[in-house]
């Protein structure tokens, strides 16, 4: 509330300018609003503390919030109308003036009533208490707790023992060939769970499977003969039939496979015959105290903080030694670790005495109430997300901005996006968010944190999961709903009463895959635009929507439009009437071929995501005039619109991910220089030339162009160079000053005769080199001077048809390499590597047998070997290879038809089995 009022106060100050309120009477009314809000703003700290126990104050705050929303809508109308007049040259009508004046006058009347009520409630001016050491979180609170187990060591060892049975000498990571983790939650959807498992264990799912039966047949084939470990987390279902359906493909696995199920109800497990269950108890007192110290102080005890220890002991008991509560409070206290007074305030808080709502423990409420007003607002927005919803950091920050939550009160060098990232990181550090187990770049909320978000979202946020009374619907400002395969029209009839709604957000449980299909009636879409005029956020991602009605242009407040993965073929011209639009996402709209012609009217547009739009082969007209643009995922030089690379020079805020295609059409390197890449903060850069060679490309010209496309080195994380036509790379490709660069892919650069010195990039983890037909030798040029590839984990060479020699001098090379792939390099005959580090995976395909033999010799050990179409691999050569496979646990041989046998005797076979070698798909 306080954050929203603060933003509103700033808007009022802006609204009195000549362009916003061009006549005296309106200015006077807006000034009244400004003065009234100032009086209320002073008592909000007191109100936010008293609302915890005083329902009257809570109701007053709710009424104030509703009124603040209405004021914000009116100010937005005035500002949008001003933008319209500026673009069209039209004059404001007297009718419009009277309507605006009347609305603002009405707001003043209602606000005056609330001011009188605040005095009756006894609200007083009070400063918000904030820690004097608030930056402490940057030092000791960011403990890597994921690598530290407190108080669960015995349970961990017992579980490992059960999992390994006869393999006690090995750890789980080494023992199981396939592993998958799935959060099941309330809805036991066998199709969704099977799909996640299939993809987690490396199943190919390009076209998707239309039904559960076909998916499970594919899963069964993939599991056959392999030892797996599956974790089914947070199972609520008590249906034996659901379980039988899910595990049917698992019967094809190898002996020793295991399933771990976590659940809050043991009924299903008992039906399955498991009565000796592991029920986690509260932590022991000393372990609980250690956990608080770890997260609050960065150490595992209170020996150096004796004054705080009594308060820590009290907090441990009040948390009933529950790990999540202790962790949350530890993070809360980490910013006040030297403030004994604050620790005592936490211990003595009256929140501990309040009734427990569902599963929301008091410790989590304390963590929430300690947040700043801004962080409370941002976290409350997450109440729209269902349990187990997987979200992206960038996406959430863009939603916060669209809702107006990150308005900055004064000019600043920092963007709203940077501010949003800082707030996100703080919520993450305080355990309100956590990393998704299968993907560190995505995030989820713990179930109890999700319950907390719902409780603080109150009457303003709702998930459309059941019928809602009309009276409640009229009050909601933000709403989300779960995607369904077929969305019936009647489900949205109730929206006719939701005139004040600002947010219409589609969500899902878990990840949404490209093959998932959701269908949405066009009639719903038409009615939606007419019934919800105040929308700021509209997300209809992944629905099979083919046409966007022209009426979308009436949503004048809209800031965020997400139509990603829909089946639209074009956007209507009326989209250009959305003057406030900041984010436009059409990612994955494979059929999209046309953008509106007047995009230049969208002066506030900051983010356009047009990745994976296969039929869009030119840059939308007017892009170069959108000075606010920060992300523009894809650019085509040339095309019917004749987009010039020089058009990028005025887009000074461009950053993030970008792909630039058609670089063969850049006529002069000076034009590339004018694009000013050296000042742009790209984190991911892809540069693409045409792969069709007509003989007109000048190698020196191509090098000069690429040389001018060097981005700022302190930001770049990923680089892809595709079909570049030069003979060699400019010096910046491989420059060690790119300290954050961790991924490089160079593909289809057929004229290049040498590789750049990528070995000196300090953070490079993944390197893919493919289709460089003119490279004959890979050696010292790639390594550079000094120890090479200090961080490289994955190295892949593919389709290097001219490659003959791989030579590495002695020295430190590839110390961290885990996976090496060499495929379709038929002329590679000489490999002079002295040694490779212990690898996890070695994959060789389409090469000669000499390459295979040399690589298995120089690799000190590897656990997985895949070979495919190795020429000259006969029994004699194979006999020399197999002696180096002592540590291999997984072996796959395909299309090596000159081998007649794998082992010479049964004794060798038995020895291999003892070493747990797994033979898969050998077609000899």
pLDDT score at 808: 80
The tens digit of pLDDT for each residue in 668-696 reads 999 999 999 988 899 999 999 988 766 66
Q: Measured between alpha carbons, how far is 682 from 703 in angstroms, rounded to an integer?
A: 20
CB atoms near residue 594 (< 10 Å)? 13
Nearest to 396 by CA among 374, 426, 417, 369: 417
Indicate whether 168 pLDDT > 50.
no
CA atoms within 13 Å, Cβ hemisphere of 371: 28
pLDDT at 438: 74
Q: What is the mean pLDDT of residues 107-130?
A: 85
Query: Whole-number mean pLDDT of the chain?
Result: 83
Q: What is the mean pLDDT of residues 838-849?
A: 92
CB 774 within 8 A of CB 753: yes
Confidence of residue 542 (pLDDT cuts 50, 70, 90): confident
Q: Where are the alpha helices (DSSP H) in 800-887?
A: 849-858, 875-882
Residue 137 above 50 pLDDT?
no
The residues pairing with 807 across neighbouring beta strands, listed in sequence order, are: 832
CA distances, 643 to each of 98, 380, 663, 664, 676 (Å): 45, 43, 11, 13, 16
With a pLDDT cut of 70, the percent of the chain lying above it is 85
**Residue 247 confidence (pLDDT) above 50:** yes
- What is the structure's pLDDT at 412? 62
pLDDT at 844 over 90: yes
> What DSSP line would sit under 668-722, residue for residue?
-HHHHHHT-GGG-EEEEEEEE--S---S---HHHHHHHHHTT---TTT--EEEEE
Global pTM value: 0.81
Collect all residues with Cβ–Cβ distance below 8 Å to 24 and sequence separation of at least 6. Answer: none
Rounded Cα–Cα distance for residues 383 and 453 (Å): 5
- The percent helix, strand, coil of the chain (3-state, each to 5) is 40, 15, 45
Mean pLDDT of all residues in 109-127: 89
pLDDT tens figures, 583-634: 999 999 999 998 998 999 999 999 999 999 988 888 888 888 899 999 999 9
- List strands edge to edge, sheet with 434-436: 391-392, 439-444, 434-436
> Per the structure block, which two tokens stand in for 283?
């932590």
C-alpha 431, offset from chain centre: 17
pLDDT at 323 over 60: yes
Which of 18-27, 324-333, 437-446 shows the lowest per-residue confidence on average (mean pLDDT)? 18-27
| pLDDT recorded at residue 554 | 93
Radius of gyration for the alpha carbons in the chain, expressed in angstroms and rounded: 31
Q: Which band of pLDDT confidence, cut at 50, 70 and 90, is reported for residue 916?
A: very low
Higher-pLDDT residue of 106, 437: 106
Integer distance in angstroms from the first to the last C-alpha of the chain? 70
Q: Strand 439-444 vs strand 434-436: parallel, antiparallel, or unpaired?
A: antiparallel
| Angle, CA 708 vertex, CA 705 and CA 712 arms, to 5° | 145
CB 553 within 8 A of CB 518: no
Residues 656-670 pLDDT 10s: 899 999 999 999 999
Q: Which residue has the tokens 């070979």?
A: 867
- Cβ of 775: how many Cβ atoms within 10 Å? 22
Instruction: Give 857 or 412, the one with higher predicted confidence.
Output: 857
CA distance 295 to 332: 9
Residue pLDDT, tens place only, 502-512: 999 998 877 66
Are 621 and 644 in contact by the 8 Å Cβ rule? The answer is no
Name the burial class of residue 322, with classes exposed (0-12), middle (13-18) and buried (19+) by CB atoms within 10 angstroms of its CB: middle
Residue 921's pLDDT band (cuts 50, 70, 90): very low
The first and second tokens of residue 254, run together, are: 């190898």
CB 622, CB 646: distance < 8 Å: no
pLDDT at 291 over 70: yes
Strands (E), 424-469: 434-436, 439-444, 461-463
Position 859 scores a pLDDT of 84
Do 338 and 135 form a contact (C-beta atoms < 8 A)? Answer: no
The residue with greater pLDDT, 14 or 91, is 91
Structure tokens given for 495 = 């929206």
- The percentage of the chain sitting over the pLDDT mark of 90, rounded to a whole number, equals 37
Q: Is pLDDT above 50 for 915?
A: no
Closest CA to 538 of 551, 488, 407: 551
* The pLDDT of residue 22: 54
User: Lowest-confidence range among 159-163, 469-473, 628-632, 800-804?
Assistant: 159-163
Burial per residue of 869-896, b for 16 or more beta-carbon CB atoms within 10 angstroms, e otherwise: bbeebeeebbeebbebbebbbbbebeeb
Which pLDDT belongs to residue 329? 85
- Give the model's pLDDT for residue 16: 62
Q: Cα dist. 209→101, 192, 194, 487 in Å?
A: 58, 11, 11, 21
Digit-coded pLDDT (tens) for 42-62: 888 888 888 888 899 999 999
pLDDT digits (tens, 9 = 90+) for 184-237: 876 788 888 888 888 877 765 545 677 788 888 888 888 888 888 888 887 877
Kindly indicate the confidence band of residue 131, based on its pLDDT and cuts at 50, 70 and 90.
very low
User: Residues 890-913: pLDDT tens digits?
Assistant: 888 888 888 887 776 555 555 554
What is residue 453's predicted lDDT score, i.e. its pLDDT?
Answer: 92
**Mean pLDDT, residues 366-394 taken together:** 91
What does the DSSP 8-state code read for residue 396? H
Name beta bridge partners: 806: 778, 831
Cβ atoms within 10 Å, residue 164: 18
């Amino acid at each position: 509330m306080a954050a929203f009022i603060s933003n509103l106060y700033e808007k009022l100050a802006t609204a009195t300018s000549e362009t916003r309120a061009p006549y005296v009477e309106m200015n006077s009314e807006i000034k009244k609003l400004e003065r009234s809000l100032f009086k209320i703003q002073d008592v909000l700290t007191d109100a936010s503390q008293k609302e915890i126990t005083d329902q009257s104050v809570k109701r007053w705050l709710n009424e104030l919030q509703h009124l603040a929303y209405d004021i914000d809508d009116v100010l937005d109308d005035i500002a949008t109308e001003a933008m319209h007049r500026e673009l069209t040259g039209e004059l404001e009508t007297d009718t419009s003036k009277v309507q605006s004046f009347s609305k603002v006058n009405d707001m003043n009347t209602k606000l005056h009533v609330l001011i009188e009520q605040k005095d009756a409630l006894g609200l007083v001016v009070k400063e918000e208490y904030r820690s004097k050491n608030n930056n402490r979180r940057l030092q000791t609170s960011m403990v890597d707790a994921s690598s530290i187990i407190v108080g669960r060591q015995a349970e961990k060892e017992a579980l490992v023992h059960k999992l390994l049975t006869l393999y006690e000498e090995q750890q789980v990571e080494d023992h199981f060939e396939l592993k998958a983790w799935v959060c099941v939650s309330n809805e036991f959807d066998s199709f969704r769970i099977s799909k996640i498992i299939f993809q987690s264990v490396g199943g190919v799912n390009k076209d998707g499977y239309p039904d559960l039966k076909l998916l499970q047949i594919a899963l069964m084939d993939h599991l056959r003969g392999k030892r797996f470990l599956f974790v089914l987390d947070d199972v609520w279902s008590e249906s034996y039939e659901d379980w039988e359906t899910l595990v049917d493909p698992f019967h094809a696995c190898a002996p020793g496979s295991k399933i771990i199920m976590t659940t809050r109800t043991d009924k299903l497990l008992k039906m399955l015959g498991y009565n000796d269950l592991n029920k986690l108890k509260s932590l022991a007192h000393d372990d609980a105290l250690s956990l608080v110290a770890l997260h609050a102080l960065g150490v595992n005890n209170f020996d150096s903080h004796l004054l705080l220890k009594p308060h820590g002991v009290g907090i441990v008991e009040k948390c009933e030694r529950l790990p999540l509560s202790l962790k949350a409070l530890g993070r809360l206290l980490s910013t006040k670790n030297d403030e004994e007074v604050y620790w005592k305030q936490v211990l003595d808080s009256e929140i501990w005495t309040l009734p427990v709502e569902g599963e929301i423990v008091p410790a989590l409420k304390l963590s929430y109430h300690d947040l700043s007003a801004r962080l409370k607002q941002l976290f409350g927005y997450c109440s729209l997300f269902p349990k187990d919803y997987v979200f992206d950091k960038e996406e959430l920050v863009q939603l916060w901005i669209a809702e107006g939550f990150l308005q900055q009160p004064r000019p600043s060098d920092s963007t709203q996006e940077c501010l949003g990232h800082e707030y996100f990181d703080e919520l993450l550090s305080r355990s309100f968010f956590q990393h998704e187990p299968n993907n560190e770049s995505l995030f989820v909320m713990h179930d109890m944190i999700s319950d907390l978000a719902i409780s603080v979202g109150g009457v303003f946020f709702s998930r459309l999961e059941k019928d809602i009374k009309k009276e409640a619907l009229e009050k909601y400002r933000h709403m989300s709903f779960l995607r369904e395969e077929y969305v019936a029209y009647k489900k949205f009839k109730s929206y006719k009463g939701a005139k004040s709604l600002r947010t219409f957000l589609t969500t899902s449980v878990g990840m949404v895959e490209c093959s998932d299909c959701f269908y949405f009636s066009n009639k719903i879409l038409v009615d939606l635009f007419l019934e919800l005029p105040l929308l700021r956020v509209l997300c209809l991602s992944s629905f099979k929507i083919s046409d966007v009605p022209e009426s979308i242009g009436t949503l004048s407040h809209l800031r965020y439009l997400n139509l990603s993965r829909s089946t639209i073929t074009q956007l209507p011209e009326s989209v250009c009437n959305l003057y406030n639009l900041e984010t436009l996402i059409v990612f994955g709209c494979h059929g999209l071929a046309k953008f509106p012609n007047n995009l230049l009217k969208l002066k506030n547009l900051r983010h356009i995501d047009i990745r994976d739009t296969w039929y869009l082969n030119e840059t939308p007209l007017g892009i170069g005039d959108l000075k606010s643009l920060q992300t523009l995922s894809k650019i085509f030089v040339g095309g019917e619109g004749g987009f010039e690379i020089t058009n990028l020079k005025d887009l000074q805020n461009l950053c993030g991910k970008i792909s630039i295609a058609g670089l063969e059409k850049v006529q002069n390197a000076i034009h590339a220089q004018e694009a000013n890449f050296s000042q742009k903060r790209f984190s991911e850069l892809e540069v693409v030339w045409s792969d069709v060679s007509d003989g007109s490309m000048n190698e020196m010209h191509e090098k000069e162009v690429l040389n001018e496309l060097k981005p700022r080195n302190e930001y770049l994380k990923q680089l892809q160079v595709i079909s570049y036509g030069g003979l060699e790379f400019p010096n910046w490709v491989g420059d060690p000053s790119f300290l954050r660069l961790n991924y490089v892919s160079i593909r289809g650069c057929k004229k290049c005769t040498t590789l750049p010195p990528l070995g000196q990039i300090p953070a490079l983890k993944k390197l893919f080199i493919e289709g460089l037909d003119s490279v004959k030798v890979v050696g010292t040029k790639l390594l550079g001077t000094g120890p090479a590839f200090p961080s490289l984990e994955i190295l892949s060479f593919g389709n290097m048809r001219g490659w003959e020699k791989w030579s590495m001098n002695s020295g430190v090379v590839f110390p961290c390499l885990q996976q090496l792939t060499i495929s379709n390099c038929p002329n590679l005959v000489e490999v002079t590597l002295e040694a490779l580090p212990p690898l996890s995976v070695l994959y060789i395909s389409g090469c000669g047998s000499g390459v295979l033999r040399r690589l298995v010799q120089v690799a000190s050990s590897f656990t997985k070997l895949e070979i495919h179409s190795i020429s000259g691999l006969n029994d004699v050569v194979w006999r020399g290879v197999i002696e180096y496979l002592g540590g291999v646990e997984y072996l796959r041989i395909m299309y090596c038809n000159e081998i007649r046998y794998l082992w010479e005797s049964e004794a060798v076979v038995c020895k291999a089995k003892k070493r747990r070698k797994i033979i898969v798909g050998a077609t000899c």
